[in-house]
Amino acid sequence: MSTVIKAENLGKKYIIGHQKQRYDDSLRDAMTHTARGIWQRIRHPLSPNRESIDLEELWALKDVNFEVQEGERVGIIGRNGAGKSTLLKILSRITEPTTGKVRIKGRVSSLLEVGTGFHPELTGRENVFLNGAILGMTRQEIRKKFDEIVAFAELEKFLDTPVKRYSSGMYVRLAFAVAAHLEPEILLVDEVLAVGDASFQKKCLGKMDEVAKGGRTVLFVSHNMAAIESLCPTSILLDNGMVVAYGPTSDNIASYLSMSNSKITESRQRIGELIRSADEPGLIRRAVLLDSRQEVTGQIRVGDACEFQVELESTEVIFDVAVGLHIKTSESMQRVTSFHTRYHRCPMTNLNGRTTWRCRCPEFMLVPGSYVLELAVASSGRIVDRLDHVFSFSVIDADVLGTGKVPPLKDGIAVSKGYWEVS
């Protein structure tokens, strides 16, 4: 096998600004700063006041080195802000590295954000041909694949509609179908697949597996550890922009979960509760798990009533809000159940100011074990805030079936009440 991707000392630096907090020693100093600020605004009315901004260097990636062989399926895992998406953008030639270089052998197709590479004014049909042309394919080659792309995306009715009128889910369907079917040597896929429904995600994973088995290379970024483990034998673990490990996926997932737990402790999260400070970005301010006595807890008995509370805050009105609580196993980070305002009754759809959203569960029927809460907030179908690991909690044994026994995790996630009769 030949090397198709080689990254050498790769680094990406961004400059971010912070508002200075200045305390003037005297009235004269304050007047001087004010006058200087007015003069700057007269000379450069559209530029920010540089005296009031602190500039800071942020290395999204630093000293990244790795090689990917032809036909490999490589997962890229890490916490939010670890540098995963930045790495894929560099590999896709969307952004240039600050230091180092990357060598790529072969045609690259990438799916990094909803609508990447699509022209909003063109129809779905026209964008298929546009993307194929960008990949260097002839019109005849694209025509051969066109029917497969349309069948996979299931968007026959909307092919001649401008894609600016597509929902985010429709965008992803067509974008993935184009990226996977136009025969790239290298396929790069970011977490964007999370926008699609469960059946479409499964379909996409199957297609990526098929692409890899056909001898092409796949790099896949996801927070779904079960999907990474099933698709990618090898993975790269990133943390703070650096490669922590490059090797077997099972080992890297264990390291990732261990790192996540330690980071949670450092960031004031504790079992059963999250508190987000006012200076942290996002709509989610607090999340908590309450037991049947309305007390904060990190432990629920099988079959007990419980309540998840989420406090959201916005300085402006946000319309058509949906909140999703997703519960995952601690070991594989696989979703096992969800409570969503779209599917469970919820009287509120808009967000204004600070509000508390309560999800009451009369009987919590997961088997004993350790679980993690994932939380997402969407507006008009687009994710506006998300936390992959809100807090951990555990479910403990209880005689909910009246037999003194509850099925183990290996027999399934849910505890279902049932009655046997023999005649």
The CATH code of the domain that includes 333 is: 2.70.50.60
Same domain, 195 and 149: yes
Same domain, 278 and 179: no
- Are the beta carbons of 306 and 289 closer than 8 angstroms? yes
pLDDT for residue 326: 92
User: Helix, strand, coil shares of the chain as percentages rounded to 5?
Assistant: 30, 35, 35
Same domain, 226 and 367: no
Report if residue 30 sits inside a domain: no
Report if residue 27 sits inside a domain: no
Report if residue 16 sits inside a domain: no
β-bridge partners, 116: none
Strands of the sheet containing 186-189, edge to edge, are 108-111, 186-189, 217-221, 73-77, 234-239, 242-248
Same domain, 80 and 221: yes
Report if residue 310 sits inside a domain: yes
Which residue among 238, 261, 284 closes a domain? 261
Output b/e per residue, 47-86; b: 16+ Cβ within 10 A. eeeeeeeeeeeebbbbebebebebbbbbbbbbbeebbbbb
> Residue ranges of the alpha helices (H) in 214-248?
225-231
pLDDT for residue 381: 80
Which residue among 261, 282, 305 closes a domain? 261
Same domain, 253 and 281: no
> Residue ranges of the alpha helices (H) in 336-385?
none
β-bridge partners, 414: 366
In whole angstroms, give the CA distance from residue 154 to residue 150: 6
pLDDT for residue 266: 42
Same domain, 290 and 254: no
Instruction: Say how many residues make up the chain.
Output: 423
- Are the beta carbons of 292 and 304 closer than 8 angstroms? yes
Q: Of 124, 180, 131, 126, give the one whose Cα is nearest residue 152.
A: 180
Instruction: Let me know the angle formed at the C-alpha of 128 by 217 and 155, rounded to the nearest 5 degrees.
Output: 100
Report if residue 36 sits inside a domain: no
β-bridge partners, 187: 109, 218
pLDDT for residue 265: 41
Number of H helices, E strands in the chain: 8, 18
Report if residue 8 sits inside a domain: no
Same domain, 406 and 299: yes
In whole angstroms, give the CA distance from residue 393 to residue 298: 5
**Predicted model pTM:** 0.57
Number of domains in the chain: 2
Report if residue 419 sits inside a domain: no
Positions in the chain whose pLDDT score sits under 70: 1, 16-55, 113-117, 192-198, 257-271, 278, 404, 408-410
Classified as helix, coil or strand, 13 is: strand
Which residues constitute the domain of residue 110? 59-261
Same domain, 395 and 316: yes
Same domain, 195 and 75: yes
The owner of tokens 């006058």 is 35
Same domain, 373 and 342: yes
Report if residue 3 sits inside a domain: no
Same domain, 306 and 385: yes
pLDDT for residue 324: 92
Which residue among 215, 230, 261 closes a domain? 261
Q: How far is CA 5 from the centre of its chain?
A: 24
Residues in CB range of 117: below 8 A, 6 or more apart: 110, 130, 131, 134, 175
Same domain, 69 and 171: yes
